[in-house]
Amino acid sequence: MQPPPPPPVRILPGARGADKVWWEEASTSGVAGPDDRGPTTSTDPPPCLVVFFGGDRIEDAAAHPDVHRLQAPGEVARLLRARFGRGATLLIIAANRHEAGFACYDHFLAKTTLSGEPLGYPARVPDGQDDGAVAAGLPALAQLASLLAAGGWPPVADAAAGPASPPPLPPTHLVAFSKGGSVLNQALAEAAALAEAVGGGTGPPAAPPSPPASPLLAHATTLAGSLASFTYVDVGLPGRGAYACPPGAASLADRPGGPPTITLYGTPRQWGPGKGPQAAERDRMVAGLAGAGVPVAVVECGGGGRRESLAMHFRCLEQALGAPPPGPPGEG
CA angle 133, 139, 145 (to 5 degrees): 100
Residues in contact with 59: Cβ distance below 8 Å, sequence separation at least 6, in sequence order: 101
pLDDT, one tens digit per residue, over 42-56 is 455 679 999 999 999
HEC assignment per residue over 128-139: CCCHHHHHHHCH
Q: What is the SS3 assignment for the chain?
A: CCCCCCCCEEEECCCCCCEEEEEECCCCCCCCCCCCCCCCCCCCCCCEEEEEECCCCCCCCCCCHHHHHHCCHHHHHHHHHHHHCCCEEEEEECCCEEECCEEECCCCCCCECCCCCECCCCCCCCCCCCHHHHHHHCHHHHHHHHHHHHCCCCCCCCHHHCCCCCCCCCCEEEEEEHHHHHHHHHHHHHHHHHHHHCCCCCCCCCCCCCCCCCHHHHHHHHHHHHEEEEEEECCCCCCCCCCCCCCCHHHHHCCCCCCCEEEEEECHHHHCCCCCCHHHHHHHHHHHHHHCCCCEEEEECCCCCCCCCHHHHHHHHHHHHCCCCCCCCCCC
Share of residues in the chain with pLDDT > 70 (%): 80
Q: For residue range 245-277, list pLDDT tens digits in order.
A: 999 999 999 988 899 999 999 999 899 887 788
All domains in the chain, ordered by first residue? 9-321 (3.40.50)
What is the bridge-based pairing of β-strands 172-177 and 296-300?
Answer: unpaired
Rounded to 5 degrees, what angle do the CA atoms 329, 101, 50 make?
Answer: 65
Question: What's the predicted TM-score (pTM) here?
Answer: 0.86
- At 152 the pLDDT is 87
With a cut of 50, which residues of the chain have pLDDT below it?
Answer: 28-42, 155-164, 200-212, 327-332
Q: How much is the pLDDT for 4?
A: 59
